[in-house]
Amino acid sequence: MTEETTIRLSKRVAEMVPCSRREAELYIEGAYVSVDGVLVEEAGARVAAHQQVVLAANAEPTEILPVTIVMHKPAGAAPQARLKEEARSAEAQKQRFLKRHFVNLTLALPMDDMASGLCVFTQDFRVARKLVQDADTVEQEIIVDVDGAIAENGLAQLNQGSAKVSWQNEGRLRFAIKGPKPGQIRKMCLAVGLKVTAMKRIRLGRIAMSGLPVGEWRYLQGYERF
């Protein structure tokens, strides 16, 4: 098919309903329009006159609200690589998934690829402002596995500035820290004779990872705040 023999899907829907072009785009982006039995979510898609375009009976031309995605990133994985529809948690599957949810996402407070735990993507400028512009005000809770013998007064040395550090067991520390810079926790541990072997972020502000399975993601709910 060429542009000479096709028209934009949004124009076709607008003529078919009828409705405004903007309403047609919202129907399409809201996953209410199929072409020859296949769901199409791109308003700029082109269709030929012979193709069958169907609007779902429950279609509503409503604005699509920005989403925030909370992920349990596995150690050694780039978070973007885990951002797939099939990686939705059972909880996330209760909410309609749209391809648009993966557009214009900001990765907030990124972690070292070798670290695991709570990772956040957002389309919401308010969440981005909180976690990016005001990152130094958000407390992160990080579980750190270590090897080695800690120096005398080492724990007191770790508990400086914004850091609150305690032992979970003889090989594991819990850090509650605001605005850690990349590599900062490893350097802090090294300075007191400890080598970091693993790190797992389990909380950002008031949002905890809780029971989210490794490698899966969910939507931040409207009542949740960082």
Q: What is the reported pLDDT for 3?
A: 64
Other Cβ atoms less than 10 A from the Cβ of 50: the count is 8
Q: What is the reported pLDDT for 84?
A: 95
Helix (H, G, I), strand (E, B) or coil at 215: coil
Q: What is the reported pLDDT for 2?
A: 60
d(CA 171, CA 148): 8
Mean pLDDT by 10 residues, the chain (226 residues): 82 96 96 96 94 96 95 94 94 92 94 92 95 92 97 95 94 96 94 97 96 96 94
Q: What is the reported pLDDT for 28?
A: 96
116-122 and 195-204 as β-strands: parallel, antiparallel, unpaired?
A: parallel
Q: For residue 133, what are the contacts with CB-CB under 8 A and spacing of at least 6?
A: none
Full-model pTM: 0.86
Query: Token digits for 129?
Result: 């402002």
Q: What is the reported pLDDT for 182?
A: 87
CA angle 88, 93, 95 (to 5 degrees): 120
Other Cβ atoms less than 10 A from the Cβ of 115: the count is 21
